[in-house]
Structure 1
Amino acid sequence: MYAIIVDGGRQYRVEPGMEVDVDFRDIEAGESITFEKVLAVSNDGGMTLGAPTVSGASVKASVVGVEQDKKIYVQKFRRRKHSKSRIGHRQKHLRIRIEEIAGA
């Protein structure tokens, strides 16, 4: 059984027990989160596609913790002016564990 959910403009194919990195939210580890935008649900009986979402379907997940990407550097350089800058950025992500796929 799997589902396709939308979060932050991205689509994720999730299964129960799977861990996924989604966009950061200010949520403590151990709390639960519910995704209502479910595009498709597949189970033993077949596949249910939404138009655009499956009504009554939801995916429940629990928060494992906060992760960070590798550091990226952004540079700005202007020729002949001795003007340059370099800054770094590390994007935060929320690691979640899929608990249950309900509905459909």
Structure 2
Amino acid sequence: MYAIFVDGGRQYRVEPGMELDVDYRDIAAGENLKFETVLAVGAEDGLKLGAPTLDGVSVSASVLGMSQDKKIYIQKFRRRKHSKKRTGHRQKNTRIRIEEIAGV
């Protein structure tokens, strides 16, 4: 069984027991999250599609902790001006584990 849900403008295809990174939330490790904007659910009996979402279906997950992406470097260079600038950014994420897909 799998589900497709929306979080932070992105769509995720998940199955129970799967671990993934979502946008950062200030939540302690061990707490639970519930995603209620489920677009589709697939099982042995077929695929259920929402229009646009499925009513009464949710995906619950537990928070494992915080993680970070690789550092991205941004460079600005102005030719013939002896001017350059280099900055970096490292995105924070929340690592979650999918526990169950409820309401199917």
TM range (shorter): over 0.9
Structure-2 residue corresponding to 1:32: 32
Deviations 1:29-85 (A, max 9, x none): 111000011000112322210000011100000001111111110011111211111
SS at match of 2:66: strand
| Residue 54 (1) aligns with residue 54 (2) | yes
| Residue 21 (1) aligns with residue 57 (2) | no
Q: Aligned letter for 1:54?
A: L
Q: Aligned letter for 1:65?
A: G
| Residue 12 (1) aligns with residue 12 (2) | yes
Q: Aligned letter for 1:78?
A: R
Q: Distance in 1 between matches of 2:82 and 2:28?
A: 45
Q: Distance in 2 between matches of 1:54 and 1:20?
A: 22
Deviations 1:9-28 (A, max 9, x none): 11111000000111111111
TM-score, L = length of structure 2: 0.95
Q: Aligned letter for 1:70?
A: K
- Identity between Structure 1 and Structure 2 (%): 74
Q: Which runs of 5+ in 1 are unaligned?
A: none
Between Structure 1 and Structure 2, how many residues are aligned? 104
Q: Which runs of 5+ in 2 are unaligned?
A: none
Q: Aligned letter for 1:66?
A: M
Q: Distance in 2 between matches of 1:87 and 1:96?
A: 29
Q: Distance in 1 between matches of 2:83 and 2:96?
A: 43
TM-score, L = length of structure 1: 0.95
Q: Distance in 2 between matches of 1:7 and 1:54?
A: 15
Structure-2 residue corresponding to 1:65: 65
